[in-house]
A and B are shown apart, each in its own frame.
Chain A
Amino acid sequence: MSARMGHENVVIGSLAQIGRCGLFLLRILSAIPRSMRHVTETVRQLWFVGGMSLTIIMTSGLFVGMVLGLQLYHVLAIFGGTSATGSVVALSVYRELGPVVTALLFAGRAGTSITAEIGLMRATDQIAAMEMMAVDPIAYVAVPRFLAGIIAMPLLCCVFCGLSIFGGHLVAVDWLGVDNGTFWSNMTATVDVWDDVINGLIWKSLVFGAVISLIAVFQGYTTAPTSEGVAYATTRTVVASSIAILALDFVLTAFLM
Chain B
Amino acid sequence: MIDTVQAQPDNDALVRIRGLTTVLNGKVVFDKLDLDIPRGKVTAIMGPSGTGKTTLLKHITGQMRGDAGQVLVEGRNVAEMPRDALFELRERIGYLFQNSALLTDFDVFENVAFPLRQHTRLPEVLIRNIVLTKLQAVGLRGAASLMPSELSGGMARRVALARAIVFDPMLILYDEPFVGLDPIALNQVLKLIRTLNETLGITSVLVAHELEAIKQVADVVYLIANGKVVAQGDPKTIAESGSPWTSQFFGGEADGPVPFQYPAGDYAEALGFKQGVA
Q: CB within 8 Å of B: which residues of A?
A: 120-121, 124-126, 128-136, 140
Contacts and interface: CB of A to CB of B under 8 A. Distances in A.
A-B complex: 3 closest residue pairs judged by Cβ atoms: A125-B101, A129-B101, A134-B87
Interface stretch (B21-29, B32-40, B114-122, B206-214): B114-122
Contacts, number: 49
A133 B114 contact: yes
Majority DSSP secondary structure for residues of A touching B: helix
B95 interface: yes
Contacts of B114: 133, 135
Given A133-B118, A134-B119, A135-B118, A128 B90 contact: no
10 contacts: A125-B99, A132-B95, A133-B95, A133-B114, A133-B118, A134-B87, A134-B118, A135-B114, A135-B115, A135-B118
Given A125-B97, A128-B97, A134 B90 contact: yes
A129 B61 contact: no
Q: How many interface residues does chain B have, given as a range?
A: 20 to 34
B103 interface: yes
B92 to A, nearest CB: 9
Given A133-B118, A134-B119, A126 B101 contact: yes
Contacts of B98: 125
B107 to A, nearest CB: 15
A131 B63 contact: yes
Interface string B167-179: 0000000000000
A140 B102 CA distance: 15
Given A124-B104, A126-B104, A128-B63, A133 B97 contact: no
Contacts of B240: none
B10 interface: no
